[in-house]
Amino acid sequence: MNQVANLQIRPDAPSQSGKGWVRIAGLSVVFGEGETRTIALAPTDLDLEPGTFTALIGPSGCGKSTLLNAVAGFTAPTQGSVQVDGRKVSRPHPSVGVIFQNFALFPWFTARGNVEFALKRFGIAKEERRKRAMEALGEVGLSDHATKFPGQLSGGMKQRVAIARTLAADPDVLLMDEPFGALDAQTRLRMHELLTDIWMRRRKTVLFVTHDVDEALRLADVVYVMASAPGRIIENVPVELDRPRPVERMSDGFLTLRSKLLGLLRHED
């Protein structure tokens, strides 16, 4: 990684833009009616300050993705509200970017073409789209692969394209739903380093959903633990560890937090 990754940045470092404040107030989501009625997310309050990195962990079906989809504007609240910088979220908005585990790349476009195509909906001129696409691909280390098609790229490279596609639009909030879950262990660790590097430079507000305790601790400022039936937040655990957080060794502080999170999850199981 470049020299930025060697900086020691505390978790409370401010956002560069001051944008990306997410406020979730009394948010609940219920699917179905009558006997099929399911409380996917119980009333939830959560504030994400600008430039912070927050992880959500918990068992399958605990509402992690439902919460993320509500912030993205994909899922309508049954009660409560979500606001981003004072704007009530009712549908997807350019200020919020989403990265999924499924790369969702168009196989008939090159890496650059996939990034450019995503920018068309913003009415950006062709030359500017090309410029932004190449800058974003360079940021994720794919400048030399811009003309390759998805079928010519590895899984990690495809996810890099997906990240570049979102970064090119310069959102204030990044929502990530288990983006590295389909990658092998070695590639996943490289993606952790890449994402940390990008976040430390851009200081976007990140909400990251994962099942992996180690992944949450390597990346986040704070980890929220969720439980199911109904989906709800049961604990928040600050991660007051200097960055970068080496993958080859775990500090005593890291291990203490790891033990705490695993204990909370084991209790819920």
Does the pTM surpass 0.85? The reply is yes
Q: Kindly tell me the number of DSSP H helices and DSSP E strands found in the chain.
A: 7, 10
In a domain, 192, yes or no: no
Q: pLDDT for 22-76, tens place per residue?
A: 999 999 999 988 888 899 999 999 999 999 999 999 988 899 999 999 999 999 9
Q: Contact at 8 Å (CB) between 53 and 88?
A: no
Number of domains composing the chain = 1
pLDDT value of residue 225: 96
Q: pLDDT for 189-222, tens place per residue?
A: 999 999 999 999 999 999 999 999 999 999 999 9
In a domain, 122, yes or no: no
In a domain, 246, yes or no: yes
In a domain, 83, yes or no: yes
CATH code for the domain in which residue 67 is found: 3.40.50.300
Residue-range definition of the domain harbouring residue 32 = 3-91+203-268
Q: pLDDT for 73-94, tens place per residue?
A: 999 999 999 999 999 999 999 9
In a domain, 256, yes or no: yes
In a domain, 114, yes or no: no
In a domain, 120, yes or no: no
In a domain, 30, yes or no: yes
